[in-house]
Amino acid sequence: MRLLSSVTTAAREPLTGPPGEILAQAAEPAGGVAGWAADLVETLGGPGAGLAIALENLFPPLPSEVILPLTGFAAGQGAITLVSALFWTTLGSVVGAVALYWIGALFGRERMYALWERLPLVKVSDLERTEEWFGRHGTKAVFLGRMVPIFRSLISVPAGLERMPTHVFLLLTALGSLIWNSVLITAGYLLGDQWDLVERYVGILSKVVLVLVVVAVGAWIAVRVRGRRSGADSGSGSGSASGRGGQRDRARGRQAQHRRTP
């Protein structure tokens, strides 16, 4: 996603004026997410950045790799303080994650199992093993998942389904989000008017993660389909064999009965 491709040329030119005007110049003429985030930060300050990140958690297509570095750039220009940027964006991350947590919690395990039973190529045992895995590694998954593109938002839903203790979920989400936000905001702060470079490299990471997920899902489906076919073949083969065996047994029985008959 190259929302900032048209920003790059303008951003290389010296930006002058009050912080609000500099921020607007940095986001023009890109519009899109960059322009929208710049408007929020310029209008609302730190809370605007927090609102943008809360919405990014609820709607993953909104890229944090655009919003956070732009927020760091705004802090570097004095539109907001660096502490304010980190505080509000982390709060926004937690608020968005909590909303998804409760979506998972309200959906519930019973509905999840009922839905799972209707899905093709999956077994209830798959879901049971997933629950067992989350029970053992859920804390690590929530903490580290907050720093992985794509999974940053999605990890909150299984945490809600499994009813992870709320205080544990909040703590892990806040810590993981603070680390992720700090890296991207600080990068934007240090890069100045070249903040859009962050989006370029994190975008590559997002694509790599997406490709790995697609490959993993494709491999899992292929294994499951192959397993079902081999199971069906072995079942029909054993059925044929047992049928032939039954015919032989009945033939032997008739022969034995014929010998005993005077």
Predicted pLDDT at 6: 38
Counting residues of the chain whose pLDDT is more than 70, the rounded percentage is 71
How confident is the prediction for the chain on average, in pLDDT? 77
pLDDT tens digits for range 125-162: 777 877 888 888 889 989 988 888 778 888 888 899 88
**The total number of residues written for the chain in this structure:** 262
Cβ atoms of 184 and 70 closer than 8 Å: no
DSSP state of 133: H
Predicted pLDDT at 237: 54
Asked if omega into 29 is within 30° of 0 (cis), the reply is yes
- Lowest mean pLDDT across 1-15, 71-85, 190-204: 1-15
Place of tokens 């992985």: 148
Higher pLDDT, 61 or 190: 190
Q: Is 70 exceeded by the pLDDT of residue 28?
A: no
Model confidence at 191, in pLDDT bands (50, 70, 90)?
Answer: confident
Predicted pLDDT at 9: 39
pTM higher than 0.95? no
Model confidence at 11, in pLDDT bands (50, 70, 90)?
Answer: very low
- Find the radius of gyration of the CA atoms of the chain: 28
Predicted pLDDT at 10: 42
* Most confident range, picked from 1-5, 34-38, 177-181, 202-206: 177-181
Distance of CA 141 to the CA centre of its chain: 11
Q: What 3-state class would DSSP assign to 16? A: coil
Q: Is 80 exceeded by the pLDDT of residue 207?
A: no
Place of tokens 């609820």: 58
Q: How far is CA 192 from CA 33, 56, 108, in A?
A: 18, 23, 45
Q: Following CA atoms 73, 78, 83, 88 in sequence, which dihedral angle do they give, to the nearest 10 degrees?
A: -70
Q: How far is CA 247 from CA 13, 149, 236, 243, 259, in A?
A: 89, 62, 17, 6, 19
Place of tokens 């991350």: 93
